[in-house]
């Protein structure tokens, strides 16, 4: 896509995030992660030139290819997709800024084991399946607090930084709001235990997510439409 269109999209997203965060509080800070699943390295570099610094990839292979092609830029790479166990070592080698989709205690144990072997550490978010949808990964809300604590206690190489959720898959705004509010309550309960990030909201629902307390949004298609 042409650079002018990308700039227009970027400006529009920044303005919308700004309006949404100001409705919460002038002190509420929101980080935008550009979900670059459908973007090529040229578009990522152009967005970087416009001021976008954090980018998220869904697949380990894509993260590897894009991060290596753009290693001349100090991009903040996030992993935001489902992590298969056979890809754990590859992800550790890529050393992402943040792994947002730690979706079970079992995955945490496996990741921790590999991190120990590689003498590495990783910052992660616990993914919560707040709408209890079978098609989504993540721990159920009623298990989230205890799972978070267990990971802190048992996984010494994982630094939990907060929580992530994907809003309810529906056109019903109240259902989406409920899923965000559920996750935010868990995040609030975890703040005394070091939680700093509440990653909620994507292209179609990020303003609602920010209203519900999100301080990190993952926006993809709006950048590259």
Task: Write out the residue range of the structural domain in which residue 143 sits.
Answer: 3-219
Q: What is the pLDDT of residues 169-217, one digit of tens each?
A: 999 999 999 999 999 999 999 999 999 999 999 999 999 999 999 999 9
Q: What share of the chain is helix, strand, coil (3-state, %, to 5)?
A: 45, 20, 35
pTM, two decimals, is 0.96
Dist. CA 101–CA 183, nearest whole Å = 14
Q: What is the pLDDT of residue 2?
A: 85
Q: Residue 130 falls within a domain, yes or no?
A: yes
CATH number of the domain that residue 212 is part of: 3.20.20.10
Q: Residue 20 falls within a domain, yes or no?
A: yes
Concatenated DSSP letters for 95-128? --SEEEEE--HHHHHHHHHHHHHTT--EEEEEEE
Q: What is the pLDDT of residues 70-108, one digit of tens each?
A: 999 999 999 999 999 999 999 999 999 999 999 999 999
Q: Domains in the chain: how many in total?
A: 1
Q: Residue 127 falls within a domain, yes or no?
A: yes
Q: What is the pLDDT of residue 179?
A: 97
Q: Residue 32 falls within a domain, yes or no?
A: yes
54: left (phi > 0), else alpha (psi -120 to 50), else beta?
A: beta
In sequence order, the β-bridge partners of residue 56 are 35, 78
pLDDT at 1 over 90: no
Q: Residue 225 falls within a domain, yes or no?
A: no
| 57: confidence class by pLDDT, cuts 50, 70, 90 | very high
Q: What is the pLDDT of residues 121-148, one digit of tens each?
A: 999 999 999 999 999 999 999 999 999 9
Tokens representing 221 are 């298609």
């Amino acid at each position: 896509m042409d650079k002018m269109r990308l700039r227009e999209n970027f400006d529009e997203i920044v303005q919308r995030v700004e309006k949404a965060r100001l409705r919460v509080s002038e002190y509420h800070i929101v980080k935008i992660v550009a979900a670059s699943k459908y973007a090529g390295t040229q578009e990522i570099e152009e967005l970087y030139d416009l001021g976008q610094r954090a980018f998220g990839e869904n697949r380990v292979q894509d993260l590897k290819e894009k991060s290596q092609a753009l290693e001349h830029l100090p991009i903040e790479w996030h992993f935001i997709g489902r992590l298969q166990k056979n890809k754990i070592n590859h992800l550790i080698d890529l050393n992402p800024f943040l792994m947002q989709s730690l979706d079970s205690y079992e995955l945490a144990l496996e990741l921790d084991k590999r991190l120990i072997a590689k003498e590495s550490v990783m910052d992660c978010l616990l993914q919560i399946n707040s709408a209890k949808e079978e098609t989504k990964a993540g721990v159920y809300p009623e298990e989230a607090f205890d799972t978070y604590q267990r990971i802190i206690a048992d996984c010494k190489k994982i630094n939990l930084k907060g929580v992530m959720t994907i809003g309810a898959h529906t056109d019903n705004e109240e259902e989406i709001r409920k899923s965000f509010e559920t996750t935010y309550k868990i995040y609030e309960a975890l703040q005394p235990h070091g939680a700093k990030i509440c990653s909620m909201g994507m292209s179609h629902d990020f303003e609602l997510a920010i209203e519900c307390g999100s301080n990190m949004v993952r926006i993809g298609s709006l950048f590259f439409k």
